[in-house]
A and B are shown apart, each in its own frame.
Chain A
Amino acid sequence: MDLGLAVDDSHPPYTVLAVKGEVDVYTAPRLREKLVELVSQGKHQIIVDLEGVDFLDSTGLGVLVGGLKRLRSHDGDLGLVCTQQRILKVFEITGLTKVFAIHDSVEAAAAR
């Protein structure tokens, strides 16, 4: 099972990380590594685009929470792009809609 992770720097100062596929306990470590790599490259304003994600479990949520914590410690932020109801539902159930800024599009997330 492949997890697509595409980095797009065309919305400065934001770095967009587009995730594609299923995020679970098997694939989430790759997402974590990519976020750590971006932060270590000095990219502290990250937008994670979840529009290509078919499945997201609690491990994926945990990686995003960890990413947000890491970025906040660098005075940065991690915003999300998600309009799919089945993915949004996971954030709603866990209350994490109050932790993350969730946007309808990369453009909306980058216009903050």
Chain B
Amino acid sequence: MEMILELEIPASPEYIAIARLVVSSIVSSRRNLPDDRIDDLKLAVSEACTNAIEAYGPNLAEDGAGERVRILVQDDDEKLEVDVADSGPGFDPDDLPTHPPVTDPERLNFERGLGIPLIRTLVDDVQFVSSPGGTSVRMTVYGEPLELHPPEEFEPEGFGPGDFGPEGTDVEGSG
């Protein structure tokens, strides 16, 4: 796996937009993924960052001062992984409250708790590693990397080395 991005943001909601934009931009430049898959990953990263910030609890300073959310992006030939990690108190991913069915009027009493189900649907694989020292959400998207060609040396056709004046002359500003 090659590390392609290491990003650390203050644990404050205003920075999440930047994080999801940076991750989605770098992924779309590296991987051969359709736009809707990039959108899915962007939303999943955003949800993971939201949860990471909330993991610090209500006593967090408004600007997230002192606490951080760490985002790592790595890839290889077959997959790309995004890790979103916090140093909050951790949670049990298998012990999340369940919502009433959407057809039940009681469903309207639940405004929260949609983030993790969304993440699970939006990416190909997700692992939650949580301990009292923090939580890491590892999201995997399979798919090929983009074929990256190094830029070829610029060789304009039809011009020889002498066409821009004697060698060693500074052409700019001469005419």
Contact = CB atoms under 8 A, between A and B. Distances in A.
B17 A58 contact: no
B13 interface: yes
Interface string A56-95: 0111011101101100100000000000011001100111
B13 A26 contact: yes
B108 A65 contact: yes
B27 to A, nearest CB: 16
Given A24-B50, A72-B108, A96 B102 contact: yes
Interface string B7-39: 000000110110010000000000000001001
A61 to B, nearest CB: 6
Given A25-B16, A25-B53, A58-B50, A94 B39 contact: no
A55 B42 contact: yes
Nearest to B14: A26
Nearest to B18: A1
A86 B36 contact: yes
Contacts of B114: 58, 61-62, 94
Interface in B94-128: 101-103, 107-112, 114-115, 117-118, 121-122
B47 interface: yes
Which of the four size classes fits the interface of chain A? Answer: 20 to 34
A22 interface: yes
A58 to B, nearest CB: 4
B19 to A, nearest CB: 11
A26 B110 contact: no
Given A66-B111, A69-B109, A90-B43, A26 B17 contact: yes
Interface string A13-36: 000000000101110000000000
A22 B43 CA distance: 11
Nearest to B54: A25
Contacts of B117: 93-94
Interface of B: 13-14, 16-17, 20, 36, 39, 42-43, 46-47, 50, 53, 101-103, 107-112, 114-115, 117-118, 121-122
